[in-house]
Amino acid sequence: MAEQTASGYIQHHLQNLTFGHLPDGTWGFAHSAAEAKEMGFWAFHLDTLGWSVALGLIFVLIFRLAAKKATSGQPGALQNFVEVLIEFVDGSVKDSFHGRSAVIAPLALTIFVWVFLMNAVDLVPVDWIPQVAVWISGDHHIPFRAVSTTDPNATIGMALSVFALIIFYSIKVKGIGGFIGELTLHPFGSKNVFVQALLIPVNFLLEFVTLIAKPVSLALRLFGNMYAGELVFILIAVMFGSGLLWLSGLGVVLQWAWAVFHILIITLQAFIFMMLTIVYLSMAHEDNH
């Protein structure tokens, strides 16, 4: 029974608040993973969407407040923090991006801060936010996940947005012919036209896999690391419900130790997502052939 209870607790915390078309023909919330699966493609993870938008607005409001209060005299703590962050991101862009674009630096700053804020929600105890959702809804069985980056739909969505920019700038800088040539005439080439024609399928296969690997690496790296971190917090939380005093005490120690270590993870994952975006867009701006 204890095993089933622990298993149910873990599954409940790993399920999103899903809204969609129920089997009886109505629209509503899924109360189990099976119901969420039956909703099909047009099912919405409202917790992921809600927290993503809310944290994005928080980012905008904080930076807008810092911009409104900016002064050339003695800056306040908020202005100092924002300036340090902007200088850090700007330095990363200058070191890794070799083209010319007014979009890359603001994009990199947005990605870093937004992903960091979404990751940082993982530091809130796993039961607090779901309990607030239960209190608001009055439904004790409703699931709720607050860490948007533990949802592959969110990370894939961000990765596809970056991928669209990669394609856009590749075509803008190289032209349609240059972009197609990059996919079909490299890495293997030959001065013999017949041989070059035979090499086109091989080149396309290699370059297409390389191209598709970019959004896949962006999405799965962020999702995998954050999902694993969330799962560790959930497993530690299970220790508190064991009924054993020594195990609960060990859970307190592990909770704090993992939270301190997780601060590094959430920051590093935001930085990696930003840096890979900068590097991929820099490659899209290169026109060497």
203 part of the active site = no
In the set 225, 242, 248, 288, the catalytic residue is: 225
With H, G, I as helix, E, B as strand and everything else as coil, classify residue 144: coil
- Mean pLDDT throughout 169-198? 89
Instruction: Check: CB of residue 123 under 8 Å from CB of residue 263.
Output: yes
Share of the chain above pLDDT 90, in %: 64
Q: List the strands of the sheet with 18-21, edge to edge.
A: 27-29, 18-21, 44-45
Model confidence over 258-270: pLDDT tens digits? 999 999 999 999 9
**Gap between the Cα atoms of 164 and 159, Å rounded:** 9
CA distances from 114 to 89, 152, 169, 269 (A): 13, 16, 23, 12
End-to-end CA distance of the chain: 65
Main-chain dihedrals φ then ψ at residue 21, nearest 5 degrees: -90, 115
Which of 108-122, 152-166, 177-191 bottoms out in mean pLDDT, i.e. has the lowest? 177-191
**Gap between the Cα atoms of 259 and 111, Å rounded:** 23
With H, G, I as helix, E, B as strand and everything else as coil, classify residue 183: helix
pLDDT value at residue 3: 46
- Mean pLDDT throughout 40-68? 94
Confidence of residue 165 (pLDDT cuts 50, 70, 90): very high
pLDDT value at residue 2: 41
**Gap between the Cα atoms of 180 and 167, Å rounded:** 11
Model confidence over 221-264: pLDDT tens digits? 999 999 999 999 999 988 877 667 777 788 888 989 999 999 99
80 part of the active site = no
Distant-in-sequence, close-in-space partners of 84: CB < 8 Å, separation ≥ 6: none
pLDDT value at residue 282: 94
With tokens 């954050």, the residue in question is: 226
Does residue 287 register a pLDDT over 80? Answer: no
Which of 14-28, 29-43, 102-116, 246-260 holds the top average pLDDT? 102-116
pLDDT value at residue 288: 60
Closest by Cα among 223, 270, 228, 260 to 59: 270
In the set 32, 217, 242, 282, the catalytic residue is: 217
- Mean pLDDT throughout 65-80? 88
- Mean pLDDT throughout 54-75? 91
- Mean pLDDT throughout 57-77? 90
- Mean pLDDT throughout 104-114? 96
**Mean per-residue pLDDT over the chain, rounded:** 90
225 part of the active site = yes
- Mean pLDDT throughout 9-35? 88
Distant-in-sequence, close-in-space partners of 108: CB < 8 Å, separation ≥ 6: 89, 92, 93, 274, 277, 278
Closest by Cα among 288, 263, 278 to 178: 288
Q: Burial level of 94, CB count in 10 A (0-12/13-18/19+)?
A: exposed
Q: Burial level of 6, CB count in 10 A (0-12/13-18/19+)?
A: middle
pLDDT value at residue 150: 96
pLDDT value at residue 243: 67
In the set 153, 221, 242, 282, the catalytic residue is: 221
